[in-house]
């Protein structure tokens, strides 16, 4: 079984912010796999489905971004999953807007949600799909930026980025070789 987690914040006021791109992408994954978020478990909205021959659990933590790891740890324990079963999707200020970057492992970088996940599960050995959000034309503090709404002129770019990230997650969870998926998506710029 794979656990695909889209990081974000649960309140409606955060829905269109950069920090909710993981949530939005988890919804795109669910849609692609014909699933709906109907249950709540371990502080997350979840849905169970299949991708290829694999069982897939898709989750949106309800713990707020900075405590995302609590929900991830709870779900991993409840479903007896290992870090190698985990795929986390999130916005990343360290990458230019509209880019996708998939990694097999690594540190959390500047992302507080990822810091929480790494801290709670005690591992950095899990797949992460990062959606770049940095726009060098905008000069505001990171915290203000990630909690701001995606600008109207960038809406299409981020819709495409979320769709690409969702496609990558579906391909990985269906058993496709991670290196091949990384080759197809890493560095992809949708601006």
155 catalytic residue (yes or no): no
Interhelix angle 178-185/155-173, nearest 10 degrees: 170
Query: Catalytic residue among 19, 53, 80, 111, which?
Result: 19
Integer Cα distance of 74 and 80 in angstroms: 10
Cα 96 from Cα 176, distance rounded (Å): 27
What is each CA distance from 161 to 154, 166, 182, 187, in whole angstroms?
11, 9, 15, 12
Contact 5, 88 (CB under 8 A): yes
Q: What residues are labeled active site?
A: 19
């Amino acid at each position: 079984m794979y656990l695909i987690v889209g990081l974000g914040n649960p309140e409606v006021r955060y829905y269109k912010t950069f920090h909710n791109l993981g949530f939005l992408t988890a919804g795109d994954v669910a849609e692609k796999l014909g699933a709906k978020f109907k249950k709540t478990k371990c502080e997350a909205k979840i849905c169970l489905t299949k991708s290829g021959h694999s069982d897939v659990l898709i989750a949106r933590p309800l713990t707020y971004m900075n405590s995302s790891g609590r929900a991830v740890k709870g779900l991993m324990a409840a479903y007896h999953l290992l870090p190698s079963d985990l795929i986390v999707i999130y916005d990343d200020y360290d990458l230019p807007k509209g880019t996708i970057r998939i990694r097999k492992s690594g540190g959390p970088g500047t992302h507080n949600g990822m810091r929480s996940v790494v801290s709670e599960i005690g591992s950095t050995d899990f797949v992460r799909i990062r959606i770049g959000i940095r726009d060098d034309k905008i000069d505001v503090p990171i915290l203000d930026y990630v909690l701001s709404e995606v600008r109207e002129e960038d809406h299409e770019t981020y819709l495409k980025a979320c769709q690409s990230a969702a496609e990558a997650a579906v391909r990985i969870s269906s058993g496709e070789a991670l290196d091949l998926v990384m080759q197809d998506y890493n560095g992809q710029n949708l601006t």
